[in-house]
């Protein structure tokens, strides 16, 4: 019974915590549910500049709150989602967006892995092309196999007789 | 022989990359919290800030950055910001110069607190504008106080310093940039 109470208490603490993660406050919520939903989506993609690893959606920093309001104001003014994001990145740089946009500064970030992969691939092709005389392993012929087994047997016999002598 | 060198090539590339990453992560002065401003060499944003009442200096707008042909230092400060107090002596030094504008943006502050703070520590600013909801701060890309911007006489942002001016920053960073901009005129 005590264990059950403890479990319930722990559960309560955890659910209470998960509620407090939602940092947005009632006074920020827009009347239009569609706009509000877009605002929430954008807020999850925007970095809080104060905490830096938290989206403004779940941050309690004053600046995050103000940015949430700014996001909503831009949406009400008729901005598209991309407009809102570029409004913020014009002020704070691409760092404010969790998803780095594709541009000249970030193309290496996007294409770097592909680049490394293709260099490796080309390297592999050249490696195998350059080894045309690479010895292909042929399976043993019947005679070879018989001889091989014979050798193995002999080896076993000598080994077992060795161990027999010592023990 | 040739082939052996080729075999070690991937390892070499990896080592060079690792070396670069190690250097980039450990180089002195690296602070991942400091972001490069995208506003450098861009015109300062439009704004119009009201004065702090009873302080005795006017508020200011973007027009005041370009009206008198002087280089402007724009400092973001608040009474609740402890590092602002640490850099305050440097602001006092800058405020004594009459060949530059020293403007203060009072960031997310209560007017009475800001007034008390300035009266207690001295007001170095030639103009102080109130930004209670940090809207102007957001337009300037401010994410922490204090921040210090240097704006040339044409209203273009030329430099941004995030955090307090540490000992030496004024002499080694801020003043040379001001001198440089004044010499360009």
pLDDT tens sequence across B81-116: 999 999 999 999 999 999 999 999 999 999 999 999
Instruction: Supply the pLDDT for residue A135.
Output: 62
Residue B138: count of CB within 10 angstroms of its CB: 21
Better-predicted residue by pLDDT, B36 or B8: B8
Judged on CB neighbours under 10 Å (0-12, 13-18, 19+), B83 is: middle
**Alpha helices by DSSP H, B96-159:** 111-121, 135-139
Q: Which fold has domain B37-184?
A: Glutaredoxin (3.40.30)
A88 shares its domain with A6: yes
8 Å CB contact between B93 and B178: no
pLDDT band at A5 (very low <50, low <70, confident <90, very high): low
Looking at chain A, the whole-number percentage of residues with pLDDT higher than 90 is 39
Q: Which residues of B39-70 are buried (b: 16+ CB within 10 A; e: fewer)?
A: beeeebbebebbbbeebebebbbbebbbeeeb
Residue B163: phi and psi, rounded to 5, are 90, 175
Q: Across the interface, which of A63, A89, A123 has its CB nearest the CB of B134?
A: A63
| CATH assignment at residue A49 | 1.10.8.640
CB contact under 8 A, A91 and B135: no
Q: Across the interface, which of A62, A95, A123 has its CB nearest the CB of B35?
A: A95
A90 shares its domain with A149: no
CB contact under 8 A, B35 and A93: yes
- Substitution target from B18, B37, B133, B138 for chain A, most A beta carbons within 10 A: B138
Instruction: Supply the pLDDT for residue A19.
Output: 44
Identify whether A101 is part of a domain: no
**pLDDT one-digit tens code per residue, A35-59:** 999 999 999 999 998 888 899 999 9
Instruction: Supply the pLDDT for residue B102.
Output: 97
Q: How close does chain A come to B30, measured CA to CA in Å?
A: 16
Query: Is A25 a residue whose pLDDT tops 90?
Result: no
A74 shares its domain with A142: no
**pLDDT one-digit tens code per residue, A135-164:** 667 788 888 889 989 999 988 888 777 665
CB contact under 8 A, A49 and B133: no
Mean pLDDT over the full length of chain B: 92
Q: How close does chain B come to A30, measured CA to CA in Å?
A: 19
Structural domains of chain A, count: 2
**pLDDT one-digit tens code per residue, B39-67:** 999 999 999 999 999 999 999 999 999 99
Domain spans in chain B, listed from the N-terminal domain onward: 37-184
Q: Across the interface, which of A62, A92, A130 has its CB nearest the CB of B141?
A: A92
CA distance A103 to A124: 31
Query: Is A2 a residue whose pLDDT tops 80?
Result: no
End-to-end CA distance of chain B: 62
Report the predicted TM-score, pTM, of the whole model to 2 decimal places. Answer: 0.74
Domain residue limits at A71: 2-96
SS3 helix, strand, coil % of chain B, rounded to 5? 40, 20, 40
pLDDT band at A84 (very low <50, low <70, confident <90, very high): very high
Identify whether A104 is part of a domain: no
Using a CB-CB distance cutoff of 8 angstroms, which residues of chain A are in contact with residue B134? 62-63, 66
Q: How close does chain B come to A155, measured CA to CA in Å?
A: 37
Judged on CB neighbours under 10 Å (0-12, 13-18, 19+), A92 is: buried
CA distance A137 to A73: 71
Whose tokens are 């407090």? That residue is: A20
Q: Which of A41, A70, A96 is the last residue of a domain?
A: A96
Contacts (Cβ under 8 Å, ≥6 apart) of A11 = none
Cis peptide before B146 (omega within 30 of 0): yes
pLDDT band at B28 (very low <50, low <70, confident <90, very high): confident
CA distance B180 to B185: 9
Using a CB-CB distance cutoff of 8 angstroms, which residues of chain A are in contact with residue B39? 91
Residue A79: count of CB within 10 angstroms of its CB: 17
Contacts (Cβ under 8 Å, ≥6 apart) of A122 = none
Using a CB-CB distance cutoff of 8 angstroms, which residues of chain A are in contact with residue B37? 93
């Amino acid at each position: 019974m005590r264990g059950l109470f403890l479990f319930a208490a722990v559960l309560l603490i955890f659910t209470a915590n998960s509620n407090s993660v939602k940092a947005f406050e009632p006074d920020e919520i827009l009347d239009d549910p569609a706009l509000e939903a877009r605002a929430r989506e954008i807020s999850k993609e925007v970095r809080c500049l104060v905490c830096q690893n938290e989206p403004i959606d779940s941050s309690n920093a004053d600046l995050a709150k103000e940015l949430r309001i700014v996001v909503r104001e831009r949406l009400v003014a008729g901005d598209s989602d991309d407009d809102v994001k570029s409004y913020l990145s014009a002020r704070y740089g691409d760092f404010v967006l969790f998803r780095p946009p594709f541009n000249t500064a970030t193309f290496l970030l996007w294409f770097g892995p592909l680049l490394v992969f293709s260099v490796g691939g080309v390297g592999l092709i050249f490696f195998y092309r350059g080894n045309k005389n690479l010895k292909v392993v042929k399976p043993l012929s019947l005679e070879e196999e018989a001889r091989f087994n014979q050798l193995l047997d002999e080896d076993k016999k000598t080994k077992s007789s060795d161990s027999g002598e010592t023990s | 022989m040739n082939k052996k060198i080729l075999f070690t090539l991937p390892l070499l590339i990896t080592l060079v990359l690792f070396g670069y990453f190690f250097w980039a992560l450990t180089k002195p002065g690296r602070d991942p919290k400091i972001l490069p401003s995208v506003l450098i060499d861009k015109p300062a944003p439009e704004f119009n800030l009201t004065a702090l009442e009873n302080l005795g200096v006017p508020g200011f707008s973007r027009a005041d950055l370009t009206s008198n042909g002087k280089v402007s230092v724009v400092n973001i400060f608040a009474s609740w910001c402890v590092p602002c107090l640490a850099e305050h002596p440097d602001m006092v030094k800058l405020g004594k110069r009459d060949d530059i504008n020293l403007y203060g943006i009072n960031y997310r502050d209560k007017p009475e607190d800001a007034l008390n703070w300035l009266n207690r520590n001295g007001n170095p600013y030639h103009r102080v504008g109130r930004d209670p909801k940090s809207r102007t701060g957001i337009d300037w890309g401010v994410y922490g106080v204090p921040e210090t911007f240097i704006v040339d006489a044409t209203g273009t942002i030329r430099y941004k310093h995030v955090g307090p001016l540490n000992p030496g920053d004024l002499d080694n960073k801020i003043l040379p940039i001001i001198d440089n901009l004044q010499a360009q005129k």
